[in-house]
Structures are given as structure tokens and as C-alpha cells.
Structure 1
Amino acid sequence: MLQIEKKKCFVALGKFLSQFSLDKNTKDETVLHNDLFFDKFKDLIQLSQSHNGWFTPEQVHFAIQSWSEALGEDNLDKWLSSYDLSEVKPKTVGLILAGNIPLVGFHDFLSVLISGHNVLVKTSSNDQHLIKFLAKYLIAFNPEIENRITFTDGKLENFDAVIATGSNNTARYFEYYFKDKPNIIRKNRNSVAVLNGKETQEDLVNLGEDIFRYFGLGCRNVSKLFVPKDYNFDAFFKAIYEYKDVIFYEKYSNNYDYNKAVFLMSNFKLLDNEFLTLKEDISYASPISSVFYERYENIEDIKKQLEKDADQIQCVVSNGVIENSIPFGKTQQPELWDYADNVDTLLFLNKL
């Protein structure tokens, strides 16, 4: 397939996805194959929570809307303009996908196909339906792509390179098992926010989006705050009150009750607003329904610490006090060129 044909497939997919939102699903008669896919996808979205209890319609719709915007033609052109993929010789790239948030592995899937390679996908049991459905739409739009996509339930076999995402424990297994193949192995990472006390109410409300989107299950969710030594959390708690309804979701509520009880039994001091606990802790990985925080005296010390711990951090959020940080509220809206772990996936694929 020519590059322009591959791009057309994903532009068409983006247009298909744009029809679905939490408020209303609006059928666009100009979208191809709606007769085959529109109603089935609407049903799949509603069924997603039965496949994975964390995949509520709100969270699935957010992921779908994010991808519908990312797959715009101008966006794809901007992303691909940095690469010359004309000399790629098709190889088979195995993907081992995570399943913590809806469609979390779709960027790798997109990258492999649009670079000209064939993709062999092992989905997570927590997210195995959405990406397969999108693959069916791509095949219906251009049947040539069918020979480039394979899903497997067993172990990966007959592949030339691999991109695998998992925990720190599974990463050790991946590194050993795939040591003889070109690979990208992703481990646990967390995201942090650096506050200086000058944040506006809007900033802090948006920070709540970075904390609570996908119930905090993503590596791009903020799980740790760095705050000035004398920081008062009143404004923070006032701002995130917008997200109070998260406690009415049973799985989140159960985590809140359990983790709070564990902290209290261990005599940890907590800040608590009845749907989120804040605990002073040097770690980056906080449990669901909790955010860790650490106080600082000198912002330069934080910059050095973040640089030293870069391999543990996915995103840094601030109002500009940290160079190249992400604005509040944008962690779960990455651009196509915002690569996980800062590893350029297309460059890796182009060199195979």
C-alpha cells in the first residue's frame, strides 16, 4: 500500500469515530460503511463496561473523541512530515498491549501500520474488543490492509521486532524473552505536577482532569504533586470538588475506602476530602484514589530531581515553571508525536 492510501484509511477511521460522543451519537451520512459499523460500535461502547469495569461509557467516549481528533488529516501530515518512510521494507512487528485505559495501545498499532510494516497484536484481556473493532473498520475501508493485521491469543511467534508494554515485573521477562529482537520495552511510569502556589482556579480544576481522567489508571495521570514548603491545599481541594461524583462509582469508591483504611491503620497523616486522599510521600506511584505530595524549598532542586528520575516519569505538568512541561488538563490528550517514554516509535520502526 502507498503511504497516501494508508493515511486515507486512518483519516476515514477518525471521521467514523467523530460520530460518537457521550451526549449524542450523530450519524454522518458521508461516512463510509456506517450501515455495517455504526450501530455495532454504539453497542460495543455500551458493553465495554461489562468487559472491563473501569471502562465506563464516559471514559470510553473520551478515548474515542481523543482519537477522532488525533486522526485528522492535518494532524497525520504534521506527524509524518518528520520521517521518510519510503524505503521501509515490510517486517512483522509484534505488539503486546496494556489494557489499563481504553485503546491505550492504539498508537503503537497505528505506528506500525502507517510506517509500512505488518502488525501482530496480542491484546490485553482488559481491552481486547475496541481495537479489534477498529481494525475491522480499516479492513472494510481498504481490504488490502487485512493481510497486514493479525491478532493472536497465544504467545507471539514469527515476528521481526516487538513493542511490549507492561509492569516493571513483566518488563524483566520481556527484556529476557525478546533480547535477540529489536525491541521497545515499556515499564511502569507515573506523571507529576509541580505547583508554585500561583496557579489559578482554572489551573487547579484542570489539574483535577489530569488526576481523575480514567480514574487515575493511566501512566499519564498525575499521581504526585510537588508543592512549596508552605503550600496550603485549600485552593486545590476547592478546585477539584468538581470531580466529587467519582466517589459514586463503585470500583473507585472501593479503592478509596480500602486505601484510606490501609493508610490510617499505618498511622499515616492524610489530607482527605472524602473522595481523594493526599499523603506526603517521596514515591511517584500512588494507589487509586490517592495522590502523593512532596514539599520543596527550591524549584531548582525539583528540576534536578525530575532529571535524575526521568526514567520513572511519563509527564510533568506545570504552569511553565518546569521547561517543556505540559499545561494543566492536557496529560490525557497527547499529540501523535508525544511518544510514550520519550522513545520515538516511528524512528524505531523506520530503522528496522
Structure 2
Amino acid sequence: MLQSEIKSSFVELGNFLCQFSEDGNQKSKAVLHNDLFFENFINLIELSQSHNGWFTPEQVYFSIQAWAKALTEENLNQWLSNYNFKKIEPKNVGLVLAGNIPLVGFHDFLSVLISGHNVLVKTSSNDQHLLKFLAKYLISIEPKLNSKITFVEGKLEGFDAVIATGSNNTARYFEYYFKDKPSIIRKNRNSVAVLNGNESFEDLVNLGEDIFRYFGLGCRNVSKLFVPKGYNFDNFFKAMFEYRDVIQYEKYANNYDYNKAVFLMSNFQILDNEFMTIKEDVNYSSPISSVFYEFYENLETINSRLITDAEQIQCIVSNDLIPNSVAFGQTQQPKLWDYADNVDTLAFLSKI
């Protein structure tokens, strides 16, 4: 298949996804194959929470809209402009996907196909339906893709390379099992925010988006704050109050009650606003409903610390306090060229 054909299929998928929003689904006559897919996709969105309790309609719609904005011809052209896939001999690339947030493996799926390879997908049991639906839509747009997309129910076999995402524990298994094949193995990562006390109320509200989107389950969610000594958390908590409705979701509320109880029984000092806790802690990975924080003396020290711990960190959020940091509220809206773990997936796929 020509890359232009595959690219056009994804642009059409982007047009399809543009119709779906938490504010209302708007069917467009210009979108192809709506008669087959539009109502069925709405039904799937509404059923997603029954498949995975964390996949509320709000969170699924957010993911859909993020991909709708990304899958434009302009974005795809900009992303692909630095690569040459003309000499690619199609290989079978296995994907072992995570299921922590809706469509979390879509970028890998897109990358394999857009680079000219065939994809063998092993979905997570926590996210089995959304990607399969979008794959069916792509095949309806371009039937040639049918031979390039395979969803694997059992053991992943017959692959020439693999991209696998999991916990630090499963990563050790992946590294052993896939040791004889070219691979990208992704482990646990977390995101952090560096504050200096001069952030506006709007900045802090946007930081809440980085913390609470997807209930904090993604590697791009901020789970740790670095704040200067003597930092006053009053404005931070006032801003977080914008997200108080998160406690209405039973799974989140259960985690909040449990983790707060564990902290209190362990005699840890915490700050609490009745729907989230913050705790001073040197670790990066905080439990759901909690954010860790750590005081720093100066920005030079914290910058050196973040460089040293780079393999544990996905994103750094700040008002340009740290080089290459992400703006507040933007962690869950990466560009196509913002690669997970800073590993260039397309460069890997161009060399296998």
C-alpha cells in the first residue's frame, strides 16, 4: 500500500471522530460510512464504562476529541516530513498494549501502519473494544488495510519486531521474551510539575487538568509536585476545588477513602480537601486520589535531579522553569511527534 492511501484513511478517521463530543454528537453528511458506524460508535462510548469502570463517557470523549484534533492532513504531513519510508519492506510488528486510559495504544497502532508495516495487536483486557472499532472503520475506508491489521486473542506470534507497554514487573518479562527481536519496551513512568509560587490561579486550575484527567491513571498525569521551601498550598487547593466532582465517581471515591485511611493509619502527615490528598514524599508514583510533593532549595538542583531521574519521568510541567517543560493543562494533549518515553517510534520502525 502507498503511504498516501494509509494517511488518507487516517484523515477520514479523524473526520469521523470529529463528530463525537461530550457537548453533543453531530452527524455530518460529509463523513464517509456514517450509516454503518455513527450510531454504533455512540453505543460503544456509552457502554465503555461497563467494560472498564474508569472509562466514563467524559474520559472517552476527551480521548476521542484529542485524536480527532491530531488526525489532520496538516499534522500527519508535519509528523512524517522528517522520515523516509520509501524503501520499507513491510514487517509484522507486534503491539502489546496497556489499558489504563482510553485508546492509550492508538499512537503505536498508527505509527506501525503509517510507516508501511503490518500490525499484530494484543489489546489489554481493560481496553478491548475502542481500537477494534476504529480499525473496522479504517478498513471500511480502505479495504487494503484488512490484510495489514490483525488482532491477536491468544499468544503473540509471527512478529518481526515488537512494541510492548506494561509495568516495571511485566517489562522484565517482555525483555526476556522478546530478547531476540527488535523491540521498544515501555515501563512505568510518571509526570511532575515544578512550581515557584508565582503561578496564576488559571495556571493552577490547568494543573488540575494534568492531575485529574483520566482520574490520574496515565503516565502523562502529574503525580508529583516540586515546590519551593515555605510554599503555601492555599491557592493550589482553591484551584483544585474546580475538580471536586471527581469524588462522585465510585471507583475514584473508593480509592480516595482507602488511600487516605492507609496514610492516616501509618501516621503520615497529609493535607486533605475531601477529594484528594497531598503528601510529602520523595517517590514519583502516587496512588490514585493523591499527589506527592517535595520541597526544593533552588531550580538548578531540581533540574539536575530531573535529569538524573529522566527514565522515571514522562512529562515535566512548569511555566518554563525547566527546559522543555509542558505548559499547564497540556499533558494529555500530546502532538503526534511527542513520543512516549522520548523514544522515536517512527525512527525505530524505519530501521527494522
- TM-score of Structure 1 vs Structure 2, range by shorter chain: over 0.9
Q: Distance in 1 between matches of 2:91 and 2:250?
A: 44
Instruction: Name the CA distance, whole Å, in 1 between partners of 2:146 and 2:286.
Output: 41
Runs ≥4 residues deviating over 4 A: none
Q: Show CA shifts across 1:239-287 (max 9, x none).
A: 1110000001100000000000000000000011000100000000000
Q: Who is 1:23 aligned against? A: 23
* Counterpart mapping for 1:3-82 below 5 A: 3-82=3-82
Q: Structure 1 residue 3: deviation in Å?
A: 1.2
- CA offset at residue 80 of structure 1? 0.4
Matching residue of 1:267 = 267
Shift in Å, 1:23: 1.2
1:18-48 deviation digits (Å, cap 9, x = unpaired): 0000110000001000000000000000000
Cα distance in structure 2, aligned partners of 1:308 and 1:323? 14
Tell me the equivalent position of 1:152: 152
User: 1:86-132 deviations in whole A, cap 9, x for unaligned?
Assistant: 11110000000000000000000000000000000000000010000
The CA RMSD over aligned residues, in Å, is 0.4
TM-score normalised according to structure 1 size: 1.00
- In 1, Cα distance between equivalents of 2:85 and 2:231: 50
2:344 is matched with 344
Compute the displacement of 1:337 (Å). 0.3
Q: Secondary structure at the match of 1:226?
A: strand
Q: For residue 228 of structure 1, what is the aligned residue in structure 2? A: 228
Q: Partners of 1:152 and 1:324 in 2: how far apart?
A: 38
Matched, 1:168 2:145: no
Q: How far 1:153 moved relative to its partner? A: 1.1
- The answer to whether the aligner puts 1:137 opposite 2:137 as a matched pair is yes
Whole-Å Cα distance in 1 between the matches of residues 260 and 43 of structure 2? 36
Equivalents in 2 of 1:346, 1:107: separation in Å? 10
Aligned residues: 352
Q: Which runs of 5+ in 1 are unaligned?
A: none
| Alignment-derived partner of residue 250 in structure 2 | 250
What SS does the aligned partner of 1:225 have?
strand
Write the distance in 1 (CA, Å) between the matches of 2:312 and 2:36. Answer: 43
Helix, strand or coil at the partner of 1:315: strand
Which residue identity lines up with residue 231 of structure 2 in the other structure?
Y
Aligned residue for 2:291, secondary structure, equals strand
Once the two structures are TM-superposed, the CA of residue 155 in structure 1 deviates from its matched residue by 1.1
One-letter amino acid of the structure 2 residue matched with residue 120 of structure 1: L
Question: Distance in 2 between the 1:286 and 1:62 partners?
Answer: 23
**What's the CA shift for 1:298?**
1.0
- The one-character-per-residue Cα deviations of 1:328-352 (angstroms, maximum 9, x if unpaired) are 0000000000000000000000001
* Residue 305 (structure 1) aligns with: 305
Q: Structure 1 residue 91 and structure 2 residue 91: aligned?
A: yes
Q: Which residue of 1 aligns with 2:201?
A: 201
Match of 1:276 in 2: 276
Structure 2: gaps spanning 5 or more residues:
none
TM-score (norm 2): 1.00
Q: What is the letter of the counterpart of residue 212 of structure 1?
A: F
1:316 maps to 2:316: yes
Counterpart in the other structure of 2:102? 102
Map of 1:120 onto structure 2: 120
Aligned partner of 1:334 in structure 2 is 334
Residue 190 of structure 1 pairs with residue 190 of structure 2: yes
SS at match of 1:6: helix
| Aligned position for 1:291 | 291
Q: Which residue of 2 aligns with 1:213?
A: 213
1:314 positional shift: 0.3
